[in-house]
Structure 1
Amino acid sequence: MPGKRSAGLLLFRRSPDGAPQVLIGHMGGPFWAARDEAAWSIPKGEYEPDEEPRAAARREFEEELGLPAPHGEWIALGESRQSNGKLVTVWALEGDLDPDGVVPGTFTMEWPRGSGVLREFPEIDRVGWFGLAQAEPLLVSGQRVFLERLGAHLDGAG
């Protein structure tokens, strides 16, 4: 049986000096609350074999950020296998959105573990725009390759 698959959308824009910036989200919930480095993610999520990865990326962007994906040309950044074995497929899309407008989706988990108490947490507790070099140490390690691929694409397109 194939492993879990996830799809995401990496929104990017150009700063006033022309440098690319990406929109990433800090993962919500108690495990990530005190961490910053390697605790941010591209808006993404799992999908079933009968769902198109691109449709899943659009759906997950909307679920995690509470905003529709902007219109524009999707740039395929390929796939990467994460340390947990999950295969992630990502597209980049040039666009802009105000992080203050984000209304994150939520998930429920038992917390504290073993307490029998179910609590709700935001999937992403904050989002921000970062330059590629700034974003690199913040992203979970298995997603950093997508920054490199976006940078290479933009260098070739520029």
Structure 2
Amino acid sequence: MTGKRSAGLLLYRRTSGGTELLLAHMGGPLWARREAGAWTVPKGEYVPPEEPLAAARREFEEELGLPPPEGAYVPLGEVRQSGGKTVTVWAVEADLDPDAIVPGTFEMEWPKSSGTLRAFPEIDRVAWCAPDRAEELLITAQRAFVDRLLNHLTPFTPP
């Protein structure tokens, strides 16, 4: 059996200060007081035969409550997270107002072993970040997507 798979969209925009990436802070009580390693590319799980890009677009809308942006989707490949999940991501240039998101929710027992199910937002906020800040905040494995995007935006030119 293969492990869990997720697909997501990494939005980027070009500003006078440089490139910025849109990251999502994971919701729920386990992440509430964490910053470093508690941010992610907006993504979600899918099961083949659903195509990863279709899943990334669907999950973007489910997670943020906004339609996925139109534009050229740049494949950034996949990474394997420490828990074993494989994450596939595409970058797309778009602007989005972080205040416009309407996050989806999930239920979990909280407090733990209380028998009480509570609903929490899948993500509790999104923010535009410079690439260096994004690498500090993202889950470790997903930091590779920042480098891959920057390599795509500034192709190597031999001397």
Alignment of 1:143-158 (within 5 A): 143-156=142-155
Partner residue, 1:8: 8
**Aligned residues: percent identity?**
63
**TM-score, length-normalised on structure 1?**
0.97
Structure 1: tracts of 5 or more residues without a match: none
Partner residue, 2:109: 110
CA distance in 1, matches of 2:103, 2:129: 19
Moved over 4 A (4+): none
Partner residue, 1:39: 38
- Aligned amino acid, residue 45 of structure 1: G
CA distance in 2, matches of 1:105, 1:16: 32
CA deviation profile, 1:92-148 (whole Å, cap 9, x unmatched) = 000001000000000000000100000000000000000100111100101000000
Alignment of 1:90-109 (within 5 A): 90-109=89-108
CA-CA distance at 1:150 after TM superposition: 0.3
User: How many residue pairs were aligned?
Assistant: 157
CA deviation profile, 1:34-93 (whole Å, cap 9, x unmatched) = 101110000001101120000000011001100011110000000111111111100000
Q: Any idea what SS the aligned residue of 1:104 has?
A: coil
Partner residue, 2:87: 88
What is the RMSD computed on CA atoms of the aligned residues?
1.2
CA spacing shift, 1:43–1:157, aligned 2, 3 Å: farther
Structure 2: tracts of 5 or more residues without a match: none
Q: Any idea what SS the aligned residue of 1:134 has?
A: helix
CA distance in 2, matches of 1:157, 1:55: 30
